[in-house]
Amino acid sequence: MNTNVEDYGISPIDETTASSGLIPGRITAVHRERYEVVCQHGEIGARLKSGIYFSGTADERFPTVGDYVLLQYNSGGDSLIVKTGERKSSFSRSDYSGHGAAYAKSILEQLVAANFDYVFIMASLNYDFNVKRIERYLTMAWQSGAQPVIVLTKADLSHQVSEQLQQVREIAIGADVFAISSKTGDGLDELKGYLQPRKTIVFLGSSGVGKSSLVNALAEEEIMKVSGIREEDSKGRHTTTHRQLTLLNNRVMVIDTPGMRELGLWDADSGISETFSDVEALFQQCKFADCTHEREPGCAVKQSMQNGALNEDRWQRYLQLKKENLFVTNKAAYLREKDKWHKLSVINKRRK
Ligand SMILES: Nc1nc2c(ncn2[C@@H]2O[C@H](COP(=O)(O)OP(=O)(O)OP(=O)(O)O)[C@@H](O)[C@H]2O)c(=O)[nH]1
Ligand SMILES: [Zn+2]
């Protein structure tokens, strides 16, 4: 295979590494116990070397998507990962500080992406435009160690783009702010400065803001699946699989992992309440405190829709966001539990 490892930001092998027989690689996908790694032999499968990662005294950090690693290459099967490189930036999903032992904590740390240069904070300019939410994403992005870039999407759907740009620029000190439309192509050229070979980009933003559409527009090919009509329970969209770290034709790398997507909904609930404060204010006026706003008499939501004070589309949009967020938060909690027990049982098995 002819893989140009330097396109992935992998440094050429130094003499010490060469004499040890190890080769460098970069993690492109993480599955349960298996990793996909790109190296001079192409895209290969690998596992963690247990003596290094699972022994009682192990303090080697588990690799995640984007990590640089050293490998014992095996042409006949899975290679072994023996070292995780230093990280210049990272996002982690959760803090397990409640679990006591430092050992367990390091094992359970949930890194979702590493070694990216830019965090594209994505927010749409249509009806759920929310400056406070962008501000929170900005805080997370600065903490990751990479450079945030704010990308306001769906400019074709807004009539006040310049006012919105101004509002965001006021809170976005130190970060560039762009308004784009993946539909018309407007503004995409302005992102070129960030789309340089060997740079790695991650995306932070709520579901549906247009992350996949942007990546496809930049790549000029279908890299990621764009959400179509949503299924009732929205499950289908979250099981879509694709590469987690992708090298585009323009030699820019993008990282998109399920964990990154969960970060995007991290605090969506408070964002929903802020955006729909007028809707939630109606709940207090319903006759019954536990009104479901479906068929109860004296429902302020129903009345407002009848007299035109509340737009029916806006109400549907609110319900949809609430439902999605509930699903994602439940799913995140579920995955965390499952992962935790899975990892502990792996450790226990190997210790025996
Ligand atoms: N009008 C308009 N619609 C857009 C634009 N970008 C994306 N969309 C639409 O918005 C919807 C969501 O787009 P996606 O690209 O799937 O959004 P995403 O952020 O990847 O969504 P998830 O996969 O759910 O996280 C789709 O119906 C797109 O066609 C845009 O610039 N203008
Ligand atoms: Zn009601």
Ligand nearest to the backbone CA of 263: 1
Distance 280 CA to ligand 2 centre (A): 10
* Residue 325 clears pLDDT 90, i.e. is over it: no
Q: What is the pLDDT of residues 32-49, one digit of tens each?
A: 789 999 999 999 999 999
Give the tokens for residue 47: 């596992």
Cα angle for residues 15, 245, 219 (degrees, 5° grid) = 115
Quick one: pLDDT band at residue 240, thresholds 50, 70, 90? very low
Domain 1-86 has CATH 2.40.50.140: yes
Q: Which atom of ligand 1 is nearest to the CA of 215?
A: 15
Q: Which atom of ligand 1 is nearest to the CA of 181?
A: 31
Give exposure, 138-159, as e/b (b: 16+ Cβ within 10 Å).
bebbeebbbbbbbbbbbbeebe
Ordered by start, the domain boundaries in the chain are 1-86, 112-265, 269-340
Binding residues for Zn(2+): 286, 291, 293, 299
Q: Which residue has the higher pLDDT, 141 or 331?
A: 141
* Residue 234 clears pLDDT 70, i.e. is over it: no
Look at residues 255, 252, 265 and name the one whose alpha carbon lies nearest to residue 207. 265
Quick one: pLDDT band at residue 337, thresholds 50, 70, 90? low
Specify the residue with its C-alpha closest to ligand 1, atom 26: 227
DSSP 8-state assignment for residue 256: -
Binding residues: 153-156, 205-213, 286, 291, 293, 299
Mutate to test the pocket of ligand 1, among 203, 211, 227, 328 (most ligand atoms within 8 A of CB): 227
Quick one: pLDDT band at residue 107, thresholds 50, 70, 90? very low
Give the tokens for residue 259: 């964990």
The SS3 of residue 123 is strand
Q: What is the pLDDT of residue 171?
A: 83
The complex scores an ipTM of 0.94
* Residue 142 clears pLDDT 90, i.e. is over it: no
Percentage above 70 pLDDT, the chain: 75
Those residues with Cβ within 8 angstroms of residue 193's Cβ, 6 or more apart along the chain or in another chain: none
Give the end-to-end CA distance of the chain in Å, rounded to a whole number. 39
Give the tokens for residue 48: 């963690």
Q: Which residues line ligand 1 (CB under 6 A)?
A: 153-154, 156-157, 181-183, 207-213, 226-227, 237, 261
Specify the residue with its C-alpha closest to ligand 1, atom 4: 154
CA atoms of 63 and 69, how far apart (whole Å): 8
Ligand nearest to the backbone CA of 187: 1
Q: Which residue has the higher pLDDT, 342 or 161?
A: 161
Q: Is 307 exposed, middle or buried (0-12, 13-18, 19+ CB in 10 A)?
A: exposed
CA atoms of 39 and 2, how far apart (whole Å): 10
Same fold, 1-86 and 269-340: no
The CATH number assigned to the domain with range 112-265 reads: 3.40.50.300
Q: What is the pLDDT of residue 102?
A: 44
Q: Which atom of ligand 1 is nearest to the CA of 225?
A: 16
Q: Which residue has the higher pLDDT, 97 or 257?
A: 257
User: What's the alpha-carbon Rg for the chain, to the nearest Å?
Assistant: 23
Q: What is the pLDDT of residue 292?
A: 92
Specify the residue with its C-alpha closest to ligand 1, atom 1: 154
Q: What is the average pLDDT across 293-317?
A: 92
Give the tokens for residue 194: 């960030």
Distance 213 CA to ligand 1 centre (A): 6
Ligand nearest to the backbone CA of 257: 1
Ligand nearest to the backbone CA of 293: 2
Distance 294 CA to ligand 2 centre (A): 7
CA atoms of 210 and 333, how far apart (whole Å): 25
The third-level CATH classification (topology) of the domain covering 269-340 is Ribonucleotide Reductase Protein R1; domain 1 (1.10.40)
Q: What is the pLDDT of residue 307?
A: 95
Look at residues 97, 110, 192, 182 and name the one whose alpha carbon lies nearest to residue 149. 192
Look at residues 1, 76, 78 and name the one whose alpha carbon lies nearest to residue 39. 1
